[in-house]
Structure 1
Amino acid sequence: MAKLPAFSSQFIAMSGGMDLATPPIAKANSDAIIALNVQPLFSGGFTRIEGYESIDGKIIPSEMKYYLIVLQDVPPPTLLNSEFLLDNKPAKVIEVIDNSIVVISQVGAAVFTKSSISIGEFTSVITYITSSVGDVNKSRDYLAKAFQYGCDLVRSVDGEGILRGVAELNENLIVFRDQDLFCGAFISDKDEGWKPVPKTYVIELSVSAHPEYFADGAKFTVDQQMHIALSSNVSTDNKKVTLICHSLFELNKQVSINNEVVGTVTACNEVTLTKGGYFEIIYHNFYGGVDTQYAYACNGYEVIEIRQDGSLIPIKVNAQYPQHIVAHKNHLFVSFKGGQVGHSLVGYPTRWSVLLGSEQFGLGDEITALSSAVGGVLLICCEHKVSALYGSTSDDWALKGLSKVGIQAGTLQSTFVPVGISTNGITRIDQTEQFGDFKLSELDASRKLGFNPLDNKISFTSTLANRNQVRFYSSSGSHLCIMLLPDGTTKSTYFNYPDKLTGVWQSNNYTYLAFNDGKVYRQNENCYSYAGKQIEWLIKMSFNHCGSPTTIKSWHSAELQATTQGEGKLKYRYDLDYNANFHATKLNEDISIYGGGGRWNDSFWNNFLWSAEDYSTPTFQLSGYSRNISLSFSGDELYAPPFELTGLIINYITRRLYRV
């Protein structure tokens, strides 16, 4: 009696990374050969890359909402797309349905039933209001329009050209953009959006008495008006002092402290910044107070301290053209063009007196990065070498060479180990167990991706600490996401943006991006698009031989292991025999995944059911004969929560041996 052919199955656990270098016949079936606009999950699998939103302090698009408002009177169809103020917040009508309207506006708009609403010449009374509808797809469409409306409302920063820097302090953004003559600075405001930061002035005094009175935060009097010294720097001979404050003074005015005349104004100039530079920004609390977490920045021309209210404190250093900046051992370190690096007094980032302990070193090579590493060692990366500064103060500094391989400028970042781009590829700097030394080693991502530093043209970097990721941003538009695993291996994917990236700055909370439109953009996991533009993602798994590359299989079906919040729509396709042209393929077939379920009680004691699937296993049909198969998944929904794709089950029948 004839025996029916037996079905076989193979499970594929998606690794979450790509392998572009291993030959196809030896490649692990868990790796992808294309992974675009997705990122690896720590335990395996892929999820979509997060989106970003434009912000100005006044408008936050990811917090925009929609309101379904039922009215006492039937609204005219002409209200569609009308803009008005809802509780003094900008709002827009996006749909008119019978006697109700759908309005998008900011979160927190105080709107109540039985209150009056006016839109142009139409006025009515609200009888019912809700911020949710039963149709998930319609709700997502409304939220997408609300998000887009929020992005459209956001103002660009005043000025010309690209953004020069973004700092975040106490939930306020301080942004730099070139003006006519100088680089302007602006701070975000919940009521006005962008507004200029408070002006600061450099006051030069000749000291006549009590130089010890001049301290940071000291209160002094000029013309019977009280002022505060934001910063104070007394010369080593106690004859001159430099104050930073918010007031402009005339020359020869007397300055009093504690009712005593202590000095005379000899110069007073407004603090200005040179245009054309790119700010490198760090954060540190040198002063130990709960409200003294400040930002420190250099732009190739000046070094500044940025206060939480946007006040700019210029730092007078001992060399020209500052390039890189870092806080290390409670010193502020700055590198300069020409291979020089110097530091402030310990605990005083604005004081750089050589006589009091400030020091400067020469490296003999252009410095490309500074990083304070584990173990209290300062890594000084140059174009052709890497050195380390050991010690705690100027009394015991010791400079030691680590490697003859240099790091490219703008590429050094750190999660739990420093990672950068060298001439050899993607390199990590590990601390050895002996004597606290370091060694440089190439990440396996370089080999798997066939990474070429010259071709990739990395310009900016950032980290995503909660995912152990380092991200490298390329001027060519193909950006790289690398997840570092505890065993030293990596998972890598690529992502791109619809516009050319011109700047990346990272705070303690977010990563900020800049493009050519003068707006500030913030990466946010609650953003499901690129400021209203679709995120088109693609995953193509490596070709799978399902046991043997010498046997022909008849492909029957596949099951996807996935989850999301609610419903997610994606497309799948499959390719046979390394995309051989004698095979027909099904292209871009639709499939849905579900997830986010929870238990609910269905009237019977202790009888719990699922409200929805917690994990989705959709099955789709395959067809054709071949030795191997590759499955691809893609999507481009405008507004959909992130998903997880973690595994596949392929069902097939083994037919016969392959004959040449």
Structure 2
Amino acid sequence: MARSAVESPLGGGLDLVTPPFRRDPGRAIAGLNYEPRPEGYRRLEGYERTDGRPLPSTRTYWMLDHDTPLTPFAVGETVTGDTSGASAPILAVPDDPDGSGDPGAPRRLVIAAPDGTFAAGETLRAGGVARATALGPAVRDGATGFLDTAYRTLAEEHQRALIRPVPGSGPVRGVHMLDGVLYALRDNAAGSEKHLWRATADGWHRVATGRQLDFTAGTADVAVGATLTGATSGAGGTLTAVTARSGTATGGDLAGSFLFEGVGGAFQPGEALQADGGPVAVAAGADAAVTLPAGGTCRFAGGIVSGFGPRLYWVDGVGPARSFDGRVVETLTGPIAPDTPGHIAVHKDHLFLSYGASVVNSNLGDPYRFEGRISATETGFEEPVTNLLTGFQDTLIITGLNRIAAYYGTVFGGVEADSELRVINKSVGALPDTLATVIQPVFMDAAGLRSLAAVQNYGNFEPATLSKAFKPWLDARTRAGARPVHTLVVREKGQARIFWSDGQGLIVDFTGTWPAAMPMLYDRPFTAFASVEDAGGRERLFAGGDDGMVYTLDSGNSFDGAPLPYTLRLAFNHLGAPARVKRFHKAEIEMTAPGGATLRMTADVDYGRPGGASIPAQDFTVYGGGGFWDEVNWNEFYYSSVEGRAEAHIEGLGANITVGLAGRTTRQPPHTLHGVTYVVSPRGQRR
């Protein structure tokens, strides 16, 4: 019979609930590490470690030719030019670099990026010993084919080995960026306190937190840079910051803290404090080191409160809130004891903190003062707060596990207060750290993924749910004992990535008319997350690991050097004729693959078994189920065109067909699957 071609565009993400004969054939019924996009399914990018040094994926190799060496070079040595002073680590010493087999031919070193430029004719040394003479400067990326790939891998692995974890012990507690600089928090080696670290061109550098001296009875505003001395003790130090928490200098009741990088001597409680030769305050106690208690989950709020400039604010649930301006860590003493706020937000020129079921805000325009007589206030929420989110419809969103409210207004305390707390829903709430704005606020609760706009508009259960199509996948996570731990926003792609406690996750795309979701699985669980903008305004995604490493997400083509797996199983497709039997001959995949793509393809017909049985429940897990992925014969092909079609021959007889695609890579960039064309010949009606 005559053959025909039937095209099916791909997209829409998981659909595990629509009856098979009504399901859009472009949807997926299983998959892993493919992003649902309007143009199809795009393979997820990788991740790689970072500490401020160049990322491994940015490194390449150089080739340095030389004459016959007096003593052979060895991998791991550093070669140095006598005249130029250039140097570089040796990555490989090829036996026959030009393939001639001539032992007298020029020899070659494969090196990492050199520090300096090697010169022709200069002596090359390693270990201080003259080895050979350079025949010319090093050449970048000079190999082809397999050798080019192998040498690039060596260069990346060399760079990867240079990048180190955040010093200390335990997981990364927090990661964020301020003014384009990356910072991380981790417990020290003894597990007795946390340290703040800055990523630099030569790795992590600890941020000194200095010393703090609380004061009362302040009578003068002391400037940063002034020298403060104790009238009795003679102790002294140069001020790096002054934190005022209450009172005024003119009233003689200013109270707060002086901060120093270091102190000579020891201040005494109750002694007069002097600056510029005159008294300025009274010491409320002895000076002490500023320490960050160990443990906790760091939650951050970036933003500007009038007059204070860009700062990073954070809480950790085990100590008071902190602020950091890139130089000095200051303590924000809250109004509730114990002073261990759990959530934080900068909103309408106020700083907001949550303490259990209470939310407090600072004075207007001052994140360090919580004075109720001015413009600070405490608001009861009736249940423990799980999220604070600013920016949606000019409000501050507050959630508990079973409650959602929105704070309206611009002044939230004092005689000029104009604020109002409106309860949106008293039965729906959000799990901790899952509320985020992707076009509109979305969050996870026990029922699945929800939209805040839907809750606000409809006020009941079902219309607010966005996860109906992939609810079986969520239920499988619940049965496995996993819980959502964070929603990471990818603004450039209109995505939310929801991470679970067992390392699995869900990519949810919001750029279409309805959310599209696909499973993801990194090869390690993450403990801290950040979606930020760097100094150039480019979105950057970071995650901290339980191994103490900080990783850049959506970077590179591997899982920090390990293979990145990807799978996709499409919905069964009856090609518009659910009762007609067809002979399936070929499947053509329309795709874009700028760097090539290696895929394995398989197909199954009639729902995978005689009688048209439905897909087993285990197919809802990340890896698919049954024998589909493990027991069939795969047809492997390599696709090297930037745009076009890749085809695989399949032979099957049935009323419908599903195609499975899979692969693993450490080097290939993401590819996008746009559509499938099936070449078929019709048979008779199913009886």
In the TM superposition, residue 550 of structure 1 has moved relative to its aligned partner by 1.6
Q: Does 1:644 align with 2:672?
A: yes
Q: Does 1:444 align with 2:466?
A: yes
Partners of 2:342 and 2:484 lie apart in 1 by: 17
| Stretch of structure 1 that moved more, 176-185 or 407-416 | 176-185
Is contact 2:246-2:369 (8 Å) kept? no
Q: Does 1:391 align with 2:413?
A: no
- Alpha-carbon spacing, 1:627–1:234, altered in 2? closer, same or farther (3 Å): closer
Partners of 1:367 and 1:315 lie apart in 2 by: 20
- Alpha-carbon spacing, 1:35–1:102, altered in 2? closer, same or farther (3 Å): farther
In the TM superposition, residue 50 of structure 1 has moved relative to its aligned partner by 1.6
- Alpha-carbon spacing, 1:318–1:468, altered in 2? closer, same or farther (3 Å): same
In the TM superposition, residue 73 of structure 1 has moved relative to its aligned partner by 3.3
Partners of 1:284 and 1:542 lie apart in 2 by: 45
Specify the alignment match of 2:63 in structure 1. 68
Say which of 361, 369, 372 aligns to 1:351.
369
SS at match of 1:510: strand
Say which of 618, 626, 633 aligns to 1:587.
633
Partners of 2:685 and 2:394 lie apart in 1 by: 62
- After TM superposition, list the pairs within 5 Å mapping 1:63-462 onto structure 2: 63-74=58-69, 79-80=74-75, 82=77, 91-96=89-94, 97-98=96-97, 99-101=106-108, 103-106=110-113, 109-114=115-120, 116-120=123-127, 121=129, 122-133=131-142, 135-179=144-188, 180=190, 182-190=192-200, 192-207=202-217, 209-210=219-220, 213-214=221-222, 217=224, 219-222=226-229, 227-233=238-244, 235-236=246-247, 238-239=252-253, 240-248=255-263, 250-252=266-268, 255-257=273-275, 259-266=277-284, 267-287=286-306, 292-309=309-326, 311-319=328-336, 320=338, 321-337=340-356, 339-393=357-411, 394=413, 395-404=417-426, 405-430=428-453, 441-450=463-472, 451-452=474-475, 454-455=478-479, 456-462=482-488
SS at match of 1:326: strand
Matched residues, number: 625
Q: Does 1:26 align with 2:22?
A: yes
In the TM superposition, residue 185 of structure 1 has moved relative to its aligned partner by 1.8
Q: Output the TM-score relative to the length of structure 2.
A: 0.84
Show CA shifts across 1:366-395 (max 9, x none).
111011132211111011111111111021
Show CA shifts across 1:533-586 (max 9, x none).
110101111111112122221112222111122422222111122222799996
- Alpha-carbon spacing, 1:495–1:326, altered in 2? closer, same or farther (3 Å): same
Is contact 2:87-2:116 (8 Å) kept? no
Partners of 1:468 and 1:11 lie apart in 2 by: 27
- Point out where structure 1 has 5 or more consecutive residues left out of the alignment: 597-614
Show CA shifts across 1:444-490 (max 9, x none).
33333423373451112211000010111011222111011353x01
Is contact 2:495-2:508 (8 Å) kept? yes
Partners of 2:75 and 2:267 lie apart in 1 by: 62
Partners of 1:497 and 1:460 lie apart in 2 by: 14
Specify the alignment match of 1:504 in structure 2. 529
- Alpha-carbon spacing, 1:190–1:113, altered in 2? closer, same or farther (3 Å): farther
SS at match of 1:199: coil
| Stretch of structure 1 that moved more, 139-148 or 15-24 | 139-148
Partners of 2:135 and 2:553 lie apart in 1 by: 37
Q: Which amino acid aligns with 2:383?
A: D
In the TM superposition, residue 439 of structure 1 has moved relative to its aligned partner by 8.5
Percent identity over the alignment is 21
Q: Which amino acid aligns with 1:28?
A: D
SS at match of 1:447: helix
Specify the alignment match of 1:607 in structure 2. none
In the TM superposition, residue 146 of structure 1 has moved relative to its aligned partner by 2.2
Is contact 2:508-2:517 (8 Å) kept? yes
SS at match of 1:367: coil
Specify the alignment match of 1:611 in structure 2. none
Partners of 1:184 and 1:408 lie apart in 2 by: 26
Partners of 2:80 and 2:597 lie apart in 1 by: 34
Show CA shifts across 1:619-654 (max 9, x none).
222212121111111121211111111111111100
Q: RMSD in angstroms over aligned alpha carbons?
A: 3.0
- Alpha-carbon spacing, 1:224–1:502, altered in 2? closer, same or farther (3 Å): closer
Q: Does 1:657 align with 2:675?
A: no
| Stretch of structure 1 that moved more, 75-84 or 16-25 | 75-84
In the TM superposition, residue 183 of structure 1 has moved relative to its aligned partner by 2.4
SS at match of 1:622: strand
Is contact 2:572-2:656 (8 Å) kept? yes
In the TM superposition, residue 294 of structure 1 has moved relative to its aligned partner by 1.7
Partners of 1:146 and 1:498 lie apart in 2 by: 23
Partners of 1:104 and 1:78 lie apart in 2 by: 11
- Alpha-carbon spacing, 1:352–1:468, altered in 2? closer, same or farther (3 Å): same
Specify the alignment match of 1:45 in structure 2. 40
Specify the alignment match of 2:508 in structure 1. 482
- Alpha-carbon spacing, 1:336–1:208, altered in 2? closer, same or farther (3 Å): closer
